[in-house]
Amino acid sequence: MSVHDLKHFLQQPFPGKAAFFAHILLPLFGEENVIDTYDEPLLDHHPTLRPMAEATGIRTITRIAHIDLGLQPLDIFDITVADRVRMAQNRVGVQQLVRRIMDTYSGAFLLIHYEGRPDWEWRFTFCHKAHDATSGTDARRFTFLLGPGQACRTAAENFRSLIERRTADPEVQLDIDDLRRAFSVEALSREFFARYKAHYARFVDFMVNDVPMRQDFTGTSCPADTPEARNREEKPIRDYVKKLLGRIVFLHFVQKKRWLGVPLGAPWGEGPDNFLLHLFSAAPPEQQADFLDGVLEPLFDRGLDTDRSAEGDAYNTLVPTVGTVRIPWLSGGLFERDRQDRLPRASRPNSSAISSRCWPNTTSPSTKTTPTTPKWA
């Protein structure tokens, strides 16, 4: 499977044991190393785990397979959780139960999914009991959140890389270190900041080289003669880009909690997990062409920086097909308007910058632009 095919597979509802083994585990480890004849219900065999499981909404834990990695074997567990559990937030309870499981098993894969809603998101977690001379024994956990609404790009790329190694040389045996790197949060963080820095640099480069923007932000249309003077002169542009990207990144975390675009009368947590992209996609072409000033800036100011609790937090998005929804008041200063927010519309990048530069991994056909030649460049 290509990276695209793997990503598509991982973005689907939980596929079940047979499909997951066929598309992920068997290509990774080889059919000869995966023993899938187990069917051991842990809560029946270990009743002391049941109270903790019930308290965290976990319904069943079944040992379904074993992977032979030589001196470091892995066991595979299928875990179902109740519909009331928020998969993306319910980490502590699952982690506590994992620690109990890891008292017996040195390494494990956990397939965690909903009992009654197979169409919701699911988790693929790698656990390993590491032995360190300074810290003793520590059960490390690494998780990919998968399924509908999840990006799944990094998981697909990392799994494909491991599969290609085995395809090129069937004698290759993956080990614990390979799996740790594939699931590494550290690697994901480095990748995120590298991409963030690239988007930041492209925004700044565009704005410092656009004469009207440069004039409005710096007061001069020509760069200063020395690097030191130019650095001071262009600081307002850099500050504006940092603030804009910071706002959007923060809202990505908020929308993952489903706090944006909540239907009127519904509780927090019922909004779409891709509200920003949904808002852009639903906007008519004329609004998309002026999305920052026409839609996002009002959202920042009259939505996120205004207390509307007396109106049930209702906010008119100004996008006709989205209409009025619930938006939380996020006090704290990030969305307060300043001089840069009040500059003329021609002095700021338009919606194509937002869609192609800030949402590169969540685009739909209606929002894609060519990164090297965006519409506003």
Q: What is the CB neighbour count within 10 angstroms for residue 362? A: 15
174 residue type, one letter? L
Backbone angles phi, psi at 83, to 5 degrees: -60, -25
**Neighbour-count burial for 90-109, b at 16+ CB within 10 Å, e otherwise:** beebbeebbeebbeebbbbb
C-alpha closest to that of 325 among 359, 279, 372, 374: 279
Q: How far apart are CA 203 and CA 199, in angstroms?
A: 6
pLDDT per position as a tens digit, 192-237: 788 888 889 988 998 888 888 888 888 888 888 888 888 999 999 9
- Distance from C-alpha of 116 to C-alpha of 83, rounded to nearest angstrom: 6
Q: What residues of the chain score a pLDDT lower than 70? A: 70-71, 85-95, 98-99, 101-105, 118, 130-141, 185-189, 342-377
Q: Please state whether the predicted TM-score (pTM) of the whole model is above 0.85.
A: no
Question: Distance (Å, rounded) from C-alpha 291 to C-alpha 280?
Answer: 7
| Helix, coil or strand: residue 242 | helix
Please name the amino acid found at residue 316. Answer: N
Identify the pLDDT of residue 251. Answer: 92
